[in-house]
Amino acid sequence: MKSPVYRPVADRLGIAASGVCVVHCLFVPVALALFPSVMARLFASPLTHHVLAGLVVCTSLAAFIPGWLKHGEARVWGWALAGLACVAGARFEAEGAAEIALTAVGSVLLIIAHRLNHSLSYWADRE
């Protein structure tokens, strides 16, 4: 049987998408205080949050599924599912400071999952 195709670019994109979420969560409240009318329209809209959450979920699944098929380590899913649950909970259930905190925590958990997935996939190729 041919080995599953793992593409490290998917993990890199996932890390970038999660990083954008963290920066967005930290930057937007400060920017809203400094430039309320411009920032509210551009970066605080529900559409922006839906797009970022969708991007994080899609890049995560594009990386974790092939990576897991290659290395078979379930611990990646522990970090990944915790991160995705935080991001989804922040997007659909939380508001205000709780939304910011949940998104930031979820993004950090996803970055950890992507780094672990990348490392495990790298070493699986060498066995």
Distance between CA atoms of residues 35 and 71, nearest Å: 47
Note the Cα 35 to chain centre separation in Å. 27
Give 77-94 pLDDT, tens digit per residue: 999 999 999 999 988 887
Task: Tell me if 120 sits within 8 A of 66, measured CB to CB.
Answer: no
* Ordered alpha helix ranges (H), the chain: 8-34, 36-42, 46-71, 75-92, 96-125
Q: Is the pLDDT of residue 35 over 60?
A: yes
Domain borders along the chain are 8-125
Distance between CA atoms of residues 5 and 121, nearest Å: 10
Give 36-65 pLDDT, tens digit per residue: 776 666 666 778 778 888 988 999 999 999
pTM equals: 0.81
**Which of the four pLDDT bands, split at 50, 70 and 90, describes residue 29?**
confident
How high is the mean pLDDT of the chain? Answer: 84
Contacts of 8 (CB under 8 A, 6+ apart): 118, 121, 122
